[in-house]
A and B are shown apart, each in its own frame.
Chain A
């Protein structure tokens, strides 16, 4: 069964609004989780590393004020896309390591 759960799986929002995506490790604690983004027909690119109890680490070119990450507990990380615009439309997916990487189901975000 799934060991990492991500919600929602699909969301459509209006331009200018914010969207929160949750990533949960189901039966293990994850002090570190990772957020990736995938544009259509492209590979997955790491956006940021979520660290429980400290600030997230963002990859070069990723706006930390637009993509807010909170690692609230040892089993939950959230990604909030603030003031979303159509160019933020993408597939967002999280992972948590447990000997090796397990991924959530992903969230397809469409900003209209």
Chain B
């Protein structure tokens, strides 16, 4: 099956810093989503981005499908950005279920 690898596994930032999270996947995908899991466990949809670039406030994401990676950019980080960020993909032949990476745990210090 498809492999989804995220890096770095852990990231500690000072408030106001910028960061880049990476997601590599081993095969062509139909769908790629970025999520933020809050301390209560809820998965917050950040981006649906099988290809191209999108921006939403301080967050932006880029997926280069031909090179099988996606990047999530967080600018001017805030303490509320802390949590785990997951990349998840859906690939051809599956029924729409997502394969998750292991996540990047982000801690933003005041």
Contact = CB atoms under 8 A, between A and B. Distances in A.
B16 interface: no
Contacts of B100: 43-45
Interface residues of A, number: 22
Contacts, number: 53
Interface string B42-70: 11010010000000000000000000000
B80 interface: no
B107 interface: no
B33 interface: yes
A44 B41 contact: no
A91 interface: yes
A103 B90 CA distance: 15
Given A93-B43, A100-B31, A34 B97 contact: yes
Which DSSP category, helix, strand, loop or mixed, fits chain A's interface? strand
Contacts of A43: 86, 100-103
A70 interface: no
Interface of B: 31, 33, 35, 40-43, 45, 48, 86, 88, 90, 95-103
Given A93-B41, A105-B40, 13 more contacts: A38-B41, A43-B100, A43-B103, A44-B88, A44-B100, A46-B97, A46-B98, A49-B97, A97-B96, A102-B45, A105-B41, A106-B43, A108-B41
12 contacts: A32-B95, A34-B96, A38-B41, A43-B100, A43-B102, A43-B103, A49-B95, A91-B41, A97-B96, A101-B96, A103-B42, A106-B42
